[in-house]
Amino acid sequence: MSRTITLPDGRSLGVAELGDPDGFPVVVHHGTPGSGLLYERWATEGVRLIGFDRAGYGDSSRNPGRAAASAAADVDALADALGLERFATWGVSGGGPHALACAALCGDRLTAAASLAGPAPWGAEGLDWLAGMGEANVAEFDAALAGEKAVRPLAERDRAELLASTPEQLREVVESLLGDADRAVLTGELAEYLHAVAVRGLGGSVDGWVDDDLVFAAPWGFDLAAITRPVLIVQGGGDRFVPRAHGAWLAAHVPGCEAWLDDAHGHLTLFQQIVPEVHAWLLRHS
């Protein structure tokens, strides 16, 4: 099920739902690039899963100059529009900082949050931010640090390659980012899902991708130390998209969080294998 809602500032937000409509609401922040399209494997008993296209992707209007913190206002507006009295949230990959922003800034109706394979803030003290990343991500973030004029042509090129590819070709497109565990799972239904997510998110423009990259290369707009509600940090040791050190850094800097740092996992294996367990954790803390 999908719909478009109008935000208080007049922007539109594309929304998708999956699972039990009477279950506990869980709002999902997609990766970069991506969209709010939800993976059937994530359907969990007792959970009403709600995805949305982040600003600039899919059916959602662009919000130029947004920060990670901007996600909190969008999620609050989404919760208002859907009449959510209480909800939890999680974000995967590029969605991780946006889920943490909600943990810091949303009101009391947000019960708990999780970051799956999400990056730490750029310039995080004691973290070599690019160490261990695949070549494609290193090039992308080098460009993001130089600003929109540098990163947009790179994103436009990569968008064209993604849109011209098939699910079967996706492994070739992201080869420099794949460790052994991720290479093994990027096939079949997961490849089809990730390809569909990219096509939905990037079909209209590359704006969301460009703005995400600028978000990651800038201050997030909130203080991790302000987080007081339950947070789960999940990270794989074989991740070349967002290396394990990012999860370890977040685990050490998000107050009172629980951390699942598992060297058996990569990045994409979390999409495929861990989400129902994350839902169970969120329900226990809600």
CATH code for the domain in which residue 102 is found:
3.40.50.1820
Over the chain, what is the mean pLDDT?
97
Query: What is the four-CA torsion angle of 147, 92, 47, 51, rounded to 10 degrees?
Result: 30
Classify residue 173 by burial, with Cβ atoms within 10 Å: 0-12, 13-18, 19+.
middle
- pLDDT on residue 257: 98
77-86 tens-digit pLDDT: 999 999 999 9
Provide the domain count of the chain. 1
Nearby residues of 207 by Cβ (< 8 Å), 6 or more positions away: 56, 57, 62
pLDDT attached to residue 1: 65
Domain that holds residue 192: 2-284
Q: What is the mean pLDDT of residues 231-259?
A: 98
Q: What is the pLDDT of residue 2?
A: 86
| Chain mean position to CA 179 | 19
Number of other residues whose CB lies within 10 A of the CB of residue 108: 7
